[in-house]
Structures are given as C-alpha cells and as structure tokens.
C-alpha cells in the first residue's frame, strides 16, 4: 500500500559547497532516523568517506560536519510523492524539490544523481529549471547488491574536486 511521503529534513549545504549529490527520496529507515542514508546496510557514508580519505561519520552531527568539510551539498530530488515503504519503483505523484535553492546559494558546479530513479526524476522535473546536467552515480542502497564495493568506490571518485 502506498502512502504520501513528504521530505521532512532540510538539504545540507552552505555557501562553500561545490558539488551536490541528489538521491530520490529518503528510505523508510532514513525517514525514521531523520537523516540521509540511514539504513545500516546503505554504503553511502562508507563509500564517500573512502573517497575523501576520512573517517566514516556516525551521528547526524558528524555527517553534517563531514559534508561541510568536504564542500558537499546533499539533498533529494523529491519533495513529496506516493511510495510503498522504500520502493523507488512504486514512486508516483512526484513533487520535486527546487534545486535552484542550493545552486543560487552555493558554489555548486556539478550535480551528481544517485541511482537510476534519482537520475530520471532529476531529468524530468529539475533539469528544465536548473539547466545543469547531472552526472550519474550508482545507487548505494542495499537493494543494489550487484555492484561491488570496489566498483562503487571507483565510480564515486569523480565526486572529488
């Protein structure tokens, strides 16, 4: 059964952010935790920490500090939608976030979309307004188990500026 979900936490960015990483919408576990990539088997934080040769942040405060330290903005394409639990394939009735809020208040020059759903939704809803092409990154979700950690790390290296 689908439910209407609203993105309930703010984007993380500041005036020094140079890249933006966009997911689709927080998973059920992330929504419960109140922050991005909260599922314990999601590989986002371990992968991005390796890319930047830093420790894996644990708490929300550590995660925010990590993002600010490395000039990474983090948000999602979707502001609200209908979704069944965390299933991207069930997403309907999308209302997109206004990505220009970050672009107009930071130094972001590159936008990375995390996974196929975020990429296609960005192209459909956000690109017409931002006119900034996104760069695809594979999903770090536990559902994307076909991509090995080494390949994921290799592909995420392009986020380093």
The answer to whether the beta carbons of residues 106 and 11 sit under 8 Å apart is no
For the residues 89-118, what does the mean pLDDT come to? Answer: 96
pLDDT at site 161:
64
pLDDT digits (tens, 9 = 90+) for 22-75: 999 998 899 899 999 999 999 999 999 999 999 999 999 999 999 999 999 999
Total-model pTM: 0.95
Distances (CA, A) of 47 to 5, 69, 93: 27, 16, 31
pLDDT digits (tens, 9 = 90+) for 60-103: 999 999 999 999 999 999 999 999 888 888 899 999 999 999 99
Q: How confident is the model at residue 144 (pLDDT cuts 50, 70, 90)?
A: confident
Choose the CATH number for 3-159 among 3.40.980.10, 1.10.150.110, 3.40.47.10, 3.40.470.10.
3.40.470.10
Q: Where are the domains of the chain?
A: 3-159
14 φ/ψ angles, rounded to the nearest 5 degrees: -145, -175
Q: How confident is the model at residue 119 (pLDDT cuts 50, 70, 90)?
A: very high
Instruction: Give the three-class secondary structure for 107.
Output: coil
Specify the range with the lowest mean pLDDT, choosing from 5-14, 82-91, 92-101, 134-143.
Answer: 82-91
The answer to whether the beta carbons of residues 52 and 160 sit under 8 Å apart is yes
Give the torsion sign (CA, 152, 158, 159, 161).
positive
For the residues 106-127, what does the mean pLDDT come to? Answer: 97
The answer to whether the beta carbons of residues 56 and 49 sit under 8 Å apart is yes
Give which of 129, 128, 111, 110 is closest to 119, Cα–Cα.
111
């Amino acid at each position: 059964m689908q439910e209407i979900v609203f993105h309930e936490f703010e984007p993380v960015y500041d005036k020094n952010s140079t890249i933006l990483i966009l997911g689709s919408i927080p998973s059920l576990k992330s929504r419960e935790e109140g922050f991005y990539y909260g599922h314990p088997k999601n590989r986002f934080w371990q992968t991005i920490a390796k890319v930047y040769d830093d420790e894996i942040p644990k708490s929300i405060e550590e995660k925010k500090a990590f993002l600010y330290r490395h000039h990474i903005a983090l948000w999602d394409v979707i502001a609200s939608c209908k979704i069944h639990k965390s299933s991207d394939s069930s997403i309907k009735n999308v209302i997109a976030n206004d990505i220009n809020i970050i672009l107009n208040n930071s130094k972001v020059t590159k936008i990375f979309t995390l996974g196929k759903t975020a990429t296609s939704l960005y192209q459909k809803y956000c690109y017409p307004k931002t006119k900034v092409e996104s760069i695809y990154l594979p999903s770090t979700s536990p559902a994307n188990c076909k991509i090995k950690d080494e390949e994921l790390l290799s592909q995420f290296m392009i986020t380093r500026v």
